Structure 1
Amino acid sequence: MLVPRSFAVEDAGPVVELMRSNPLACFVLGGESPSVSHLPVIFADDDEHDDLHGITLLTHMNRKNPLWGALRDGTRVLVVFQGPHGYVSPTVYGVSPAAPTWNFTVVHAHGVVRLLGAGEPALRVVKRTAQVLEGRFGAGWDMTGSLGYFERIVPAVGALEIHVDAVQSMFKLSQDQPAELQSKVAAAFAGSGRGTHRELAEQMYTHLRLKADIDGS
């Protein structure tokens, strides 16, 4: 991924937060005929992670997924986490000439796979995934009453670790524009009702240290 210097992120904090806030990732296996699956990918632990090199990620999929059959210990994969994004119309700038663009946040995690055994190892990943996602996005669901159900379905689950050895992140948030236009773009996203535009505005206000708040005031 080409990452212009102005769009690069040096601090691991925002990168970790993006990955944890957007766990439905694109799991990519390269080669002559690339394969892609959309999978929940989580951190193996709850540490802060000041350095993303060497972290371990967890995911799982149906064993009938052709991607599962193509994986081996040591297989190199790419995991793409897509954060908030949105189209920037030139009308927002209020100047001419201008060109449309797309603001976005994304993380590419490269690493190698270690397949986990069926049974208890796979069950641990399923339980960890439920715990993490319920804790961040749920309403306090207690999995205790469903553990028997988990045990019945886990034979169909293929679980694995991804040992990350390289991370690229790109937060394209109008850094190539003057501060006045950055504020206009952020305010436009903050006032939008579309998709994750308000989250994108929050990213701009925080990452660019703009003086306006999320309401654009």
Structure 2
Amino acid sequence: MLVPRNFAIENAGPVVELMRSNPLACLILAGNTPSASHLPVVLADEEHDDLAGITLLTHMNRKNPLWASLRDGVRVLVIFQGPRGYVSPTVYGVSPAAPTWNFTVVHAHGVVRLIEAGEPTLRVVKHTVQVLERRFGAGWDMTGSIGYFERIVPAVGALEIHVDAVESMFKLSQDQPAELQAKVAAAFAGSGRGTHRELAEQMYTHLDLKVDVDGS
């Protein structure tokens, strides 16, 4: 991925947080016919805040064609897509101008290790549920559903991905003057789309912009 210097993030914290906040990732396996699946992908260690030594966990239906192509030692790419939004030149109020997209994304490259069937795979499923429910759910207690999990887990394939390279790009209008950055952030903040408001939060945070509370 081409990452211009002004769109790169030096601090690992925002990169890891993007991965945690956007766990429905795209796992890609290269080959003569590349394969991809959108899967829940979580960190094996939720306390890990460094890009070095990250291990990811995911699982899928064993009938997924991608599962049949996975082996220990195979390299994969996992893409975590954060908030993104189209920037119309009308927002700038200047001419000439060009439309663009602002977005945040992380590419994690790593090596696969397949998880044994049965209890080891069940542990991956339970860990995934705990992570996702804690962050996005309402505190659901899975205790009453463990028997159901045990019945369906033979159809589930789990794997871990040992990440050895991470690329991230936070394209947030860094190539524009501060005045135009503020206009773009305000436009996203006033949007009815949740992802746009999240993108505005990213801009206010990473560009250190002042929030215009009166909308002027």
Residue equivalent to 2:67: 68
Deviation at 1:47, TM superposition (A): 1.6
> What TM-score do you get using the length of structure 1 for normalisation?
0.97
Q: Residues 112, 215 of structure 1: CA spacing in aligned structure 2 closer, same or farther, 3 A cutoff?
A: farther
SS of the equivalent of 2:20 reads: helix
1:40–1:59 Cα contact (<8 Å) kept: yes
1:78–1:109 Cα contact (<8 Å) kept: yes
Residue equivalent to 1:145: 144
2:27–2:39 Cα contact (<8 Å) kept: yes
Structure 2 residue runs without a partner (length 5+): none
Residue identity matched to 2:129: A
Q: Residues 76, 214 of structure 1: CA spacing in aligned structure 2 closer, same or farther, 3 A cutoff?
A: farther
Deviation at 1:129, TM superposition (A): 0.5
Q: Residues 160, 187 of structure 1: CA spacing in aligned structure 2 closer, same or farther, 3 A cutoff?
A: same
Q: How does 1:1-217 map to 2 (within 5 A)?
A: 1-50=1-50, 52-212=51-211
In 2, the alpha carbon distance for the partners of 1:215 and 1:196 equals 22
**Deviation digits for residues 155-213 of structure 1, max 9, x if unmatched?**
00000000000000000000000000000000000000024000000000001110116
**Deviation digits for residues 113-135 of structure 1, max 9, x if unmatched?**
00001001100000000000000
Please tell me the root mean square deviation across aligned C-alpha atoms, in Å. Answer: 1.2
Deviation at 1:104, TM superposition (A): 0.3
SS of the equivalent of 2:184 reads: helix
SS of the equivalent of 1:196 reads: helix
1:198–1:214 Cα contact (<8 Å) kept: no
Residue identity matched to 1:141: W
2:48–2:54 Cα contact (<8 Å) kept: no
1:187–1:215 Cα contact (<8 Å) kept: no
In 1, the alpha carbon distance for the partners of 2:99 and 2:150 equals 51
In 2, the alpha carbon distance for the partners of 1:189 and 1:129 equals 32
SS of the equivalent of 1:192 reads: coil
1:42–1:58 Cα contact (<8 Å) kept: yes
2:57–2:158 Cα contact (<8 Å) kept: yes
SS of the equivalent of 1:38 reads: strand
Deviation at 1:49, TM superposition (A): 1.9
- Count of matched residue positions in the alignment of Structure 1 and Structure 2: 216
In 2, the alpha carbon distance for the partners of 1:214 and 1:142 equals 40
In 2, the alpha carbon distance for the partners of 1:122 and 1:213 equals 49
SS of the equivalent of 1:131 reads: helix
In 2, the alpha carbon distance for the partners of 1:153 and 1:160 equals 17
Deviation at 1:136, TM superposition (A): 0.3
Q: Residues 203, 105 of structure 1: CA spacing in aligned structure 2 closer, same or farther, 3 A cutoff?
A: same
Q: Residues 41, 87 of structure 1: CA spacing in aligned structure 2 closer, same or farther, 3 A cutoff?
A: same
Deviation at 1:31, TM superposition (A): 1.3
Question: Following TM superposition, where does structure 1 have runs of at least 4 consecutive aligned residues deviating by more than 3 angstroms?
Answer: 213-217
Structure 1 residue runs without a partner (length 5+): none
Residue identity matched to 1:24: L
In 2, the alpha carbon distance for the partners of 1:136 and 1:151 equals 24
